[in-house]
Amino acid sequence: MNHRLAIAIEEDGTQEKVAEHFGRCSKFAICELDDQKQVLKKETHGNPLAGQHSGACQIPGYVQQFNVNTIIAGGMGQKAIAKFAEFGITVITAPGLLYGEALDLFVQGKLSGCEACAHEHNHNC
């Protein structure tokens, strides 16, 4: 069974980084991996709520439509992590990585786990 991975991306000049705040990312890279973790295909989808702080509560439902099993972001609050869990989507936080680095580390089995952001977001989902 293939694995589908979403990576929240923010663009920094010519580089694509794992977005520090997934709800404000510019786009999501969706990668489909086979059983040997070979990348079968990649696609990108813009974030319709890019730049909106309140978008974090709506993004899990948006990402779910791409049938992903896992999402990688630089940071994420506890409410969003719980919402992704409701959809059966595993969250991995990987701050400070470039998109390609995050994908490579995931494929190698060296990227897992998440830690919720410690700061308050002052909004309700």
pTM for this entry = 0.88
Q: How far apart (Å, rounded) are the C-alpha atoms in residues 110 and 107?
A: 8
93, 95, 24, 40 alpha-carbon torsion, rounded to 10°: -60
Per-residue pLDDT reduced to its tens digit, 4-20: 999 999 998 889 999 98
The pair of three-digit structure tokens given for residue 21, joined into one six-digit string: 């705040």
- What domains are there in the chain, each with its CATH number? 3-107 (3.30.420.130)
Instruction: Give yes or no for a contact between 49 and 22, defined as CB atoms under 8 angstroms apart.
Output: no
Instruction: Give yes or no for a contact between 88 and 63, defined as CB atoms under 8 angstroms apart.
Output: no
Per-residue pLDDT reduced to its tens digit, 53-90: 655 678 899 999 999 999 999 988 888 899 999 999 99
48, 52, 56, 62 alpha-carbon torsion, rounded to 10°: -10
Q: Which pLDDT band, with edges at 50, 70 and 90, does 118 fall under? A: low
pLDDT value, residue 116: 74
Residue owning tokens 């999402």: 71
Q: Which residues of 42-70 are buried (b: 16+ CB within 10 A; e: fewer)?
A: eeeeebebeeeeebbbbbbeebbebebeb
Instruction: Give yes or no for a contact between 33 and 43, defined as CB atoms under 8 angstroms apart.
Output: no
∠ CA(72), CA(93), CA(23), 5° rounding? 65
